[in-house]
A and B are shown apart, each in its own frame.
Chain A
Amino acid sequence: MIIRFDGREVTFEGSKSILEVARENGIYIPSLCDHPLLTPFSGCRLCLVEVKGRRGYVPACSLQAEDGLEVTVNSPVLEEIRRQTLELILSEHPNACLVCSEKERCEEHKATIRKVGEVTGCVFCPKNNHCELQEVVRRLGVERVRFPSTYRGFELERRDPFFDRNYNLCILCGRCVRVCQEVRGATAIAFVFRGSQTVIGTPFNQPLLDSGCQFCGACVDVCPVGALTERALRVEVAPEKEVTTVCPFCSQGCQLRVKVRESRILGAEPATEQSSNPFKTCVRGRFLLREVVNEAKRLPRPFIRADGELREVSWPEALDFVAAKLSGYKGEEMGLVLSPHLPLEDIYLLSRLANEVLASSQLAFTSVGESLSFLENFAQSGDLALNLNYRPEDITQAKSILVGGGDLAALQPGLWVEVHQALRQGAKLVTLDSLARPSDRHATLALKALPEEFPAILERWLSLLSENLDEETKARWLASEERRHSLLSHQPPIQESGHLNPEVDEAWSLLMAAKPVVFLVGPGLTMNSSPAILSRLWHLAVLAGAKLIPFGFESNARGAGEMLRRLGLRTKTVEQIQEEVEKGHLKALLCFGSLPAFSGKTPEFLVVADPYQNELLSQAQVGLPVATALERPGIYVSNSGLMQQFPAAIAAAAERGPDWQVAAELGRRLSPTWPLFANEAEIRQAMLSLFPEIKALLVQGDSPSEVKQTYLSELRPPAKAVVFSEKETTISFKRRGPLRILIEPNLDYYRSLHLAATSRDLRLLRHPQKVIIHPEEAARLGLREEEMVILKNAGNSLTGIVKLSRQVPLGTLVINFTFNGFPGFSSAPFLASCFSGRADGSVVQEAITVERGS
């Protein structure tokens, strides 16, 4: 199809706006409000063009390109309209520098004076030289503003964490409002007031913290001017280089463009040119990446603690010491704890070290709520495995969506953005959770249930589903006659009030109303990794033809699960390892994960390899400072099965090596047959037989600043029938004492660093130490907001800070799950001691008591 721009013929394909076609062909039409990934706004009026045969002037951003259109972009009238419109914008935007006759020379000689609060000209503005308004002024050659200037005098908004809002610079293009609403589904900001008083703001001018903001920074990224700027970068100088890497926090696998200067990470922006994650990054990747490497509490050098004395040593000395010590233990007396934040290369070598050199099966991962073992359980089932790979389209094109067991928008926001996209196209959302979640307001039905009710709800759904199955399928999938019978007679769970909850049935009919269906299940559902829940979810997905996507994992949890499956290894849980230590069976432990300090017996010999200082180190005989994922290359496998090979964003300091080096060096010292590896590339070569997918990465060439991608190979669809075992069909939750504990997982950590420990801004947004209680319950317990509270069970205690919320059910404490990253608040041991699983599949929660702290 053809369009003529001022007589010049260009061709285009597909459904596009005139502006897009012009951009693709290098024809300049100024625009400030349009953004390629957002719906057209047509507010700035700079892209007005004339179209032959149409009345008046039309904005190119919202006019669909059609074959044969004749468009006038430049004419004296259009230029005057554009110029006058731009002057109107400038009359409400500090413009002294824009029209200053000395601006060229000023650029050469000026110092950085951005620390001033008020921005009265470009040289004071953090967006100077990256500003789209500056660019348009330059392109249109505006040299004076014919209208009197107005400084609107808004106060700089600094109440909120992470970024500043200076609405004196705002040109009301509405991009921030659109990205927040259309893409993120948060609608934290909106246009407020009208006429010349119009401004962007929150409802009732409350802080963003209270208006549902996720602090994803998408608004900052789309702002064409300096109105929204990352606070930490306001006073920064320009970066020397930018490196694209993969976010090390959650298993979303967002690509980030890291700004580097003098081996320092200044900040990061989502790599939006990579179309798979536009606006999908979250507060962690967008604002907190620098905490990973610039954290002051990095472990500086290797140390050895011997004879009660702590000694800084060289790497070879430390490794010799470890090797010598380990040679004194046998097989199962040694163990390895790994982190799902480790890249694939490291997991490969460390697992092999455990299996081949140490000959021990004492291998565990510190993963939030054992989410990893959930993945493993699926992966290990071999022929029965569901294909866990998914593409964005699997979610964005779904018609019915279940989100259960977690705050998707906080845990894995990228998935939420995809869900929201589907909702905008008419999909229906059902949520299943114990707590109120921001996504509930988008839900057709928000089902609230307690964790002990989840199996019954799933059972009821399975029962409703099996009503519509043909006999053959039933016979194939629901093996025993009794099983079929019990399914068909299952009633919806009875709520504590004593009523049947009809919403359970309604939710299922909503989910089954339109296909494709996708189930997104979070740690709230999968955390206990209870076979009763897993097998039911599994059957529901298979029989209903739904895509099952578990969420809420660390950056390489999927890779770790896949690695173990392919190596044919099984892991233990962290609790099992701790038990083995307690019993004295496990004597030498190498910890690469974020294990909490031991409260009882400690291993005879403890080696901790971690980038950061932490509580466990005080019990260790050897401490090894390792590099972070940003300081070395590696491969992460995202939740969706996307393998991404990332480069080192910055170089590691000489005294910090990658984790795999520990395995390589120990192996060399302990085993004569252990192969030698000099770098990650060599390990990848060795992994080729296990991961043939890596071939696809090798052929993509070598770039020191780009990410290479390929997908994990897809698993075969399930073929065999599954028979419920007795253990899987029965489940019971028991609780001693009146108070129920709800565990709130979070992914705000990397290795042993909880981001809130170093970021005050994150603490403002979500303080890990907050224990959330219903105000009435708090009154009963004599607790007040912001006060300290001490929780105790038979053997353990935990100190938290009270936060009141009416969204929490009565009789319930919501406690964040943390390992050892937040000083004084490692909730994992306490939470573990609150729950005990029985061999019969039942779970018991111990009684806890609550005291006011001081």
Chain B
Amino acid sequence: MKPLRSPQELSAWQAEIVASRPPKSKTVVVSSGTCGQASGSLDILQAFREELRSRQLESKIGLRVTGCHGCCEMEPNIIIEPERIFYKNLKPKDVPQIIEETLLAGKIIPSLVYHDPNTRQAYSPQPAIPFYTRQLRWLTEANFYLDPTSLEDYIALGGYQALAKALFSFQPEEVIQEIAAAKLRGRGGAGFPTGQKWKICREARAKHKFIICNADEGDPGAYMDRSLLEGNPHSVIEGMIIGAYAIGATEGFIYVRMEYPLAVKHVTLALEQARQANLLGSSILGSSFSFDIHVVQGAGAFVSGEETSLMASIEGRRAFPRQRPPFPAQSGLWGYPTNINNVETWANVPLIIKNGAPWFSQVGTEQSKGTKIFSLVGKINNTGLVEVPIGITLREIIYEIGGGIKDGRSFKAVQTGGPSGGCLPASMLDLPVDYDTLTKAGSIMGSGGMIVMDEATCMVDVARYFLNFTQEESCGKCVPCRIGTRQMVEILNRIVAGKGEEGDLEKLANLAQTVKSASLCGLGQTAPNPVLTTLRYFRDEYEAHIKEKSCPALVCKDLIIYYIDPEKCVGCLLCLKSCPTGAISGERKKPHHINQQLCIKCGACLEKCPRKVQAISKLTGRKRDEILAAEEKSHHSRIGL
């Protein structure tokens, strides 16, 4: 790799790479992000390598290892170019068959293609799969086409052309104008207009300025940033260099959590490649602009994603947030003006510069343009990363892309924005997804976590889960967050244990309000959101827990019992054998009985009871009380009371 001294050399190199790659007849693309590797993609890859070598097909059939393709549910998967045949949930033993039938004979293997879980219809080319058709994959599409460890792949796709354009055709202020005109808003969660943020930092006067890429993605179940850094690190780096040029920064940092080893590896490699190609360092592409980026690994605290504590962490201090103002744009890293953006925000920058603000703002709502990546998880058929135009409705995401709720159950709520977000009920499904509407509904867009819940989810339990998370991850600095969230968790613990009291909900709401308005940083200020939204939309569930001591979703252990219907039980002994505490008694072909004193509510019996029998059920509220009363009565009569 030779250092590039001008934009012409970059274009020439791109042409050279493209020309040097004769179109191969077939290429196998193996999705191999962290998620793919966890489900065995490396074994598939190895199998392909060995098979292709032993059949001496290496020169005829290409093999590409890429980042995540988004459809977690279907990992490990491959795409066979040029037809883009999509095979999912592969095992190494499938590989010889794929080579023989598909790669050599051109036939599609029906058992390996995607079937719609609802309609059972088969889809063989990847772009035709409903999961993909409704998406707009501006940022994530490249994950199909490039090997993240190859700068050549990125250059071949037109990479760093946006940087060349920015450096040689734009003044720094014009870059900022372009970003502002595109109405790009921060993808990290708060949605602050990026152009405006850059402008403030540009105008700050200081000897040094820094930019930071926040890759400390900590929301449970969210992995958008990981996918971008793993699958397309150069897009983030290119965005950062353009941003640094616009702002006038001399140094940049990528703060990435150390729990993302593959992302750390790829981004570190990409930085080294960029340095060698003179895309980083002094006189980038022969211009007068110099800039470099360092990788800093996070120390594993959720709060490090908060910008002021992230900066403290980079400086080598405990990740404690501090009061703003001063804002990072005035006084950030080591007191110098600093601009922090999220991974996804930086990845959008080259697109805007390359294609122009008008192109970018063709999709989106009035206030927010472009696309947003969500990690769609929970009780949904197509779990995965989805990229959609901002303004699409929740219903479209959940039903059309996500393929609806698993196991034919019904939708109950969707949680957006991670632990800082809120739970929205079915009545909100037609809400267009953008920063302002979600905030208005009591949730937030957040960095893009989206957890779908079905009818078997207890909303009080969900609120408790998220609050427990923030409670444990609070940095401990300010009182409302450190102690307030703990007191809230204690109230919720009482409620789910059936010990809720009259007035608890008011106390909870009151405390939530204090934590929200008095906490120091975003973590504490948003921590009560799951409680506040569930109180707003699912208050009846809370009341059922407190007043009737019942859990309508049959989740809270202290409020339910497992019960064997003597009418239905066939006396098969299956449940009896599965019970770890010996709580079930009975004889073959006679109805079994659960001793509630001994039952630990593990649910093993319910799982074992044959589907056609369905004698075991969970009971709560009045029904539970009746059973317990009857049992007590019989117990008393047995002991002669």
Contact = CB atoms under 8 A, between A and B. Distances in A.
Interface stretch (B158-166, B418-426, B480-488): B480-488
A196 B478 contact: no
Interface in A195-238: 195-198
Contact of A43 (B487, B507, B517, B520): B520
Nearest to B525: A56
A148 B476 contact: no
B320 interface: yes
Contacts of B318: 190-191
A146 interface: yes
B490 A195 contact: no
B511 interface: yes
B301 A194 contact: yes
A43 B477 contact: yes
B143 interface: no
Interface in A286-341: none
Given A43-B479, A194-B474, A85 B514 contact: yes
A62 B322 CA distance: 9
B476 to A, nearest CB: 3
A62 B323 CA distance: 7
Nearest to A40: B323
Given A48-B518, A57-B518, A42 B478 contact: yes
A777 interface: no
Interface string B510-536: 110010011110000000000000000
Contacts of A197: 476
B590 to A, nearest CB: 48
Given A59-B323, A146-B507, A195 B476 contact: yes
A81 B482 contact: no
Contacts, number: 97
Interface residues of B, number: 32
Nearest to B487: A147
A84 to B, nearest CB: 5
B113 interface: no
B375 interface: no
Interface string A73-88: 0000000110011001
Interface residues of A, number: 36
Interface in A37-58: 40-45, 48, 56-58
Nearest to B507: A146
A44 B479 contact: yes
A594 B562 CA distance: 86
A394 interface: no
A91 interface: yes
Contacts of A80: 514
B2 to A, nearest CB: 35
Contact of A196 (B325, B474, B480, B511): B474
Interface in A65-114: 80-81, 84-85, 88-89, 91-92
Nearest to B489: A196
B510 to A, nearest CB: 7
Given A85-B518, A92-B483, A193 B323 contact: no
B504 to A, nearest CB: 12
Contacts of A59: 323, 520
B472 interface: yes
Contact of A57 (B301, B320, B511, B517): B517
Contacts of B484: 85, 88
Contacts of B323: 40, 42, 58-59, 62
A623 interface: no
B307 to A, nearest CB: 16
B518 A45 contact: yes
A741 to B, nearest CB: 38
B473 interface: yes
A45 B510 contact: no
B482 A172 contact: yes
B468 to A, nearest CB: 10
Contacts of B485: 196
A523 interface: no
Nearest to A150: B486
B126 interface: no
Contacts of B520: 42-43, 45, 59
B475 interface: yes
Contacts of A48: 518
B303 A194 contact: yes
Given A42-B323, A89-B483, A172-B482, A193 B476 contact: yes
Contacts of B478: 42-45
B471 interface: yes
Contacts of A171: 479
A91 B474 contact: no
A88 B479 contact: yes
Given A45-B479, A81-B514, A172-B482, A91 B487 contact: yes
Nearest to A84: B514
Interface in B281-321: 301, 303, 318, 320
B480 A198 contact: no
Contacts of B476: 172, 191, 193-198
A42 B510 CA distance: 22
A174 interface: yes
B439 to A, nearest CB: 14
Given A89-B483, A190-B318, A191-B318, A81 B518 contact: yes
A58 B519 CA distance: 10
Contact of A195 (B325, B471, B480): B471
Given A45-B479, A195-B474, A81 B490 contact: no
A63 B476 CA distance: 21
A98 B193 CA distance: 48
A88 B524 CA distance: 14
Contacts of B301: 194
Interface in A173-204: 174, 190-191, 193-198
Contact of A45 (B303, B486, B519): B519
Contacts of B490: 148
Contacts of B507: 146
B482 A198 contact: yes
Contacts of B473: 194-195
Interface in A466-491: none
A92 to B, nearest CB: 6
B280 to A, nearest CB: 27
B493 to A, nearest CB: 11
A32 B486 CA distance: 21
A57 B507 CA distance: 21
Contacts of B511: 84
Contacts of A63: 325
A32 to B, nearest CB: 9
A45 B521 CA distance: 12
Interface string B73-108: 000000000000000000000000000000000000
Contacts of A88: 479-480, 483-484, 487
Given A85-B514, A194-B303, A174 B487 contact: no
Interface in B403-430: none
Contact of A56 (B475, B510, B517): B517
Contacts of A198: 474-477, 482
Contacts of B510: 84
A48 B323 CA distance: 12
14 contacts: A44-B478, A48-B518, A57-B518, A62-B322, A81-B517, A84-B511, A84-B518, A174-B477, A190-B318, A191-B320, A194-B301, A194-B475, A194-B476, A195-B474
What 7 A-B pairs have minimum CB-CB distances, sorted nearest first?
A198-B476, A42-B323, A88-B483, A196-B486, A62-B323, A195-B472, A84-B514
Interface of B: 301, 303, 318, 320, 322-323, 325, 471-480, 482-487, 490, 507, 510-511, 514, 517-520
Given A88-B487, A92-B483, A196-B474, 18 more contacts: A43-B520, A45-B479, A45-B518, A59-B520, A88-B480, A91-B483, A171-B479, A194-B301, A194-B303, A194-B474, A194-B475, A194-B476, A195-B475, A195-B476, A195-B482, A196-B485, A196-B486, A198-B475
